[in-house]
Amino acid sequence: MTAPGAPRIGVLALQGDVREHLTALAAAGAAAGPVRRPGELAGVEGLVIPGGESTTMSKLAKLFGMMEPLRARVADGMPVYGTCAGLILLADKILDPRSGQETIGGIDMIVRRNAFGRQNESFEASVALSGVRGGPVQGVFIRAPWVESTGAEVEILAEHEGHVVAVRQGRALATSFHPELTGDHRVHALFADMVRAAR
């Protein structure tokens, strides 16, 4: 049972680890649901863009008529949080895009896809994340990108081995790693607070 006044947060459900984000958001006190259509997007106060395959998600967003509504809502200031592929989709520029790959944009950064290696090079690491209380979070890195460079308005929240893995710009938050896979819901709670603050 979600509390009255809980932030209405959608998870972009075109591809990727949607269910895990819905579970984490609910645990963080949000009213969470999947978003696949422009009408569903119009009904949420904030949006999570999950991990998955960024090229596939980009193509599906165009196929489902979601790319332009997503860009418009993010440009209009809707709080948004991207993990892994979601971080790539929130970048204003990809260093090594695949043919036809587009982004939603919203964070003034350049990202490198699969920067930490392939699937079999996935790993977990303790990440000190600015803005999250209670010590480091456990970061699950799966074919993870990193942030090559950022604009002046982007706040760097975390680094791993000298590479930027978490950023925030205004109401947009992004991490290279997957906090939804750890059972630690503090990053989702941070995002829920961002959505409440944007009201």
Positions marked active-site: 84, 178, 180
Is residue 22 a contact partner of residue 34, using CB atoms and an 8 Å limit? yes
The tokens for 56 are 């596939």
**d(C-alpha 115, C-alpha 113), whole Å:** 5
The tokens for 17 are 């680890």
Burial of 135 (0-12, 13-18, 19+ CB in 10 A): exposed
Tokens 């422009």, located at residue: 38
**d(C-alpha 168, C-alpha 94), whole Å:** 17
The tokens for 158 are 């975390």
Radius of gyration for the chain, computed over Cα atoms and rounded to the nearest angstrom: 15
The tokens for 87 are 């971080």
Taking CA atoms, 144 is separated from 50, 57, 147, 158, in Å, by: 12, 15, 10, 14
